[in-house]
Amino acid sequence: MLRDDRFETIEVIPITGSLGAEIRGVDLVDGDDDVVSEVRRALDEYHVLAVRDQKLDAERLHRVARRFGPFSGNPVHTPMDGFDDIVRFVREPDDTGKVIGEEWHMDLAWLEKPPGITMLFGEVVPPVGGDTCFTSLEKVYDSLSPRMVELLSGLTGMHSGRGVFAVNAIQKRLPLTANMEAVENTVVEHPVICEHPVTGRKYVFVSGVLTHFKGMTEDESRPIRDFLMARAIRPEFNCRLRWEPNTLGMWNNPYVLHTAINDYPGYRRVMYRSTVEGAVPRAAAA
């Protein structure tokens, strides 16, 4: 098993050659600041982390999340009582239909500042199934031809909250806020070719809520958008986070897409989510 020896205070084990790593033997609640700094560095490098053996509840997840930065806000989901930054997701054994997040997506891509980090803690996880898949938007950029990069560098994507409430409303156990009209009418602009503010690596900012490109119609935009989404989910750019009890999943939200796998009928799943404030996506230098 490969261990990344660039990290001294934490054990970092890559999941695939594209992105993702497991971290074991750390305490994110009471560990010192050097541990948090190393985890943040691993997150910038791998974008997806499975931090194992974390004894968390809502209060302790709140403490961990705030060590990484202020809450990003969540205009869609109603938080838990007493914790405005924590949402509890429950799926019971007899629930049927789609699970939340079943399509490839980026969390809150239609905000001016999408969350920089999403954290998801598994309190109750199925004995098998219920994995989360991720894909690297940096690898998408690296796979493009110079001519396609030149084309995309001149484009600005329009990301819309249209339909977000309808997608979430089918989850009968997921309470939503009363901001439906504001969310539905939200449209933001993000550059298509961006760069990571720490590593400087370039990535493609594409999401499932990208409706069109600025100055183009939806019909004109659709072939390019569909090409990018199809390229993004190629398996060689993916990793699969396999949930274990007491796993904290963390991901650098703007640099990946993710999807929940709906393959655990008959099992209960209880997850807690928080998010950390991000930055306005920065266009890559020419």
Q: Are 77 and 89 in contact (CB under 8 A)?
A: no
> What CA–CA distance (Å, rounded) separates 38 from 233?
29
Which pLDDT belongs to residue 171? 57
Both tokens assigned to 110: 């239609």
pLDDT digits (tens, 9 = 90+) for 172-217: 666 666 566 677 788 999 999 999 999 999 999 999 999 999 999 9
- Count of C-beta atoms within a 10 Å radius of residue 268: 15
What secondary structure letter does DSSP report for 139? H
Q: How far is CA 235 from CA 43, 208, 240, in A?
A: 21, 18, 10
Nearest by Cα to 223 from 136, 281, 155, 123: 155
pLDDT above 90 as % of the chain:
82
Residue type, 214: K
- Count of C-beta atoms within a 10 Å radius of residue 144: 18
What secondary structure letter does DSSP report for 244? -
Which pLDDT belongs to residue 101? 85
Which pLDDT belongs to residue 78? 84
Write down the CATH number for the domain with range 11-276. 3.60.130.10
> What CA–CA distance (Å, rounded) separates 109 from 92?
28
- If residue 167 lies in a helix (H) or strand (E), which one and from where to where? helix 164-169
Which pLDDT belongs to residue 99? 85
Ordered by start, the domain boundaries in the chain are 11-276
Which pLDDT belongs to residue 77? 77
Cβ-proximal residues to 148 (8 Å cutoff; 6+ apart), any chain:
none
- For residues 211, 208, 77, 102, the Cα torsion angle rounded to the nearest 10 degrees is 150
Conformational region of residue 13, where left means phi above 0, alpha means psi within -120 to 50, and beta covers everything else: beta
Mark the ranges of the chain whose per-residue pLDDT is less than 70: 163-181
pTM, to two decimals:
0.93
